[in-house]
Amino acid sequence: MVFQEIKDSIAIHCETTGAGPPLVFVHGWSLCGAVWRFQTEHFRDRHRCITMDLRGHGRSSAPEAGYGIEDFASDLTSLCEQLDLTGATLVGWSMGAIITLAAYPKLRDRLRSLILVSGTPRFTSSGDYPHGLPPKETRGLSLRLKRNPGQTLDAFFRMMFTPEEARGRSFEPICRDIVPLLCRPSCTAALHSLDTLASADVRAVLSDIRIPCLLIHGRMDTICPAGASRYMAERIPRAYLAIMDGAGHAPQLSRPEEFNRITGDFLGKVYGID
């Protein structure tokens, strides 16, 4: 367990396990680095696995302000620089995928590849981007969060899984091994981060990505529709798209064996590891 002092008294909590080419895992809105446990335990034999808690999330500093996409991207950039990472792969999930894309221009020389999970370059839909949620969805979520933060965050977590996933045997390890490790953000941090999620647009970065990029998406994702990854796959020159049938928004949790196999096959080609 390490706290990296980034800047302006912001401390980012990160954990490292394993050895080998580095993988940096970036979680989504309202959660923390613990959501990657099934991946770090699997890949630590071949990779140095680094999980971080975004500012305002998990055990990282939670300032009263400073939750713009540029703030999150700057924290990720500074962390990679302070750890002096080279040949790294960034693994971003949901909002973490947007942050990963936002950080790419400054980190490109340190990176070997990208993995974007349940990602989108723009969370809300617009006239020229139909692959997000209607803006009213984030406004409604914000109102519910103000009224009852705990209940709203619990409901959002459940939305990440299809009804079949939530009733299946694969949900038992999530409840047993992941849920107890999750740290809720403060209401202030959650609201500011949600505002950023609703407004961020990193579509301009896509065509500039020149390294291999794996896009993994659950076909049944209702939070970030799978069309978002198809959109990115058409615009990232070296993109590989994997759509997981029957999976929701968190395939790394609900279908870890399949997810890790897809990810491992990609990393094996990127790093030449059998």
In sequence order, which residues have a C-beta less than 8 Å from that of residue 269 and are 6 or more positions away? 212
pLDDT band at 6 (very low <50, low <70, confident <90, very high): low
What is the DSSP track for 181-232?
G--PPPHHHHHHHHHHHHH---GGGGGG--S-EEEEEETT-SSS-THHHHHH
> Residue 174 and residue 125: Cα distance in Å, rounded?
30
Catalytic site includes residue 221: yes
How far is it, in rounded angstroms, from Cα 132 to Cα 121?
A: 9
Is pLDDT at 3 greater than 60 in this prediction? Answer: no
Q: Model confidence at 83, in pLDDT bands (50, 70, 90)? A: very high
Task: Give Cα 6 to chain centroid, integer Å.
Answer: 20
Catalytic residue among 30, 60, 94, 113: 94
**Ranges assigned E (strand) in the chain:** 2-7, 10-17, 22-26, 48-52, 88-93, 111-117, 213-218, 239-244
Active-site entry in 53, 71, 75, 221: 221
Contacts of 194 (CB under 8 A, 6+ apart): 29, 138, 141, 142, 145
Token pair in block for residue 166: 């939530």
210 CB neighbour count, 10 Å cutoff: 12
What is the tens place of the pLDDT at every residue in 219-236? 999 999 999 999 999 999
Residue 5 pLDDT grade (very low, low, confident, very high; cuts 50, 70, 90): low
Note the pLDDT tens digit of each residue in 239-263. Answer: 999 999 999 999 999 999 999 999 9
- In the chain, what are the domains? 2-271 (3.40.50.1820)
And the tokens for 181? Answer: 């490790």
Residue 38 and residue 179 in contact, taking contact as beta carbons nearer than 8 Å: no
- How many Å separate Cα 110 from the centre of its chain? 19
**CB atoms closer than 10 angstroms to residue 9:** 8
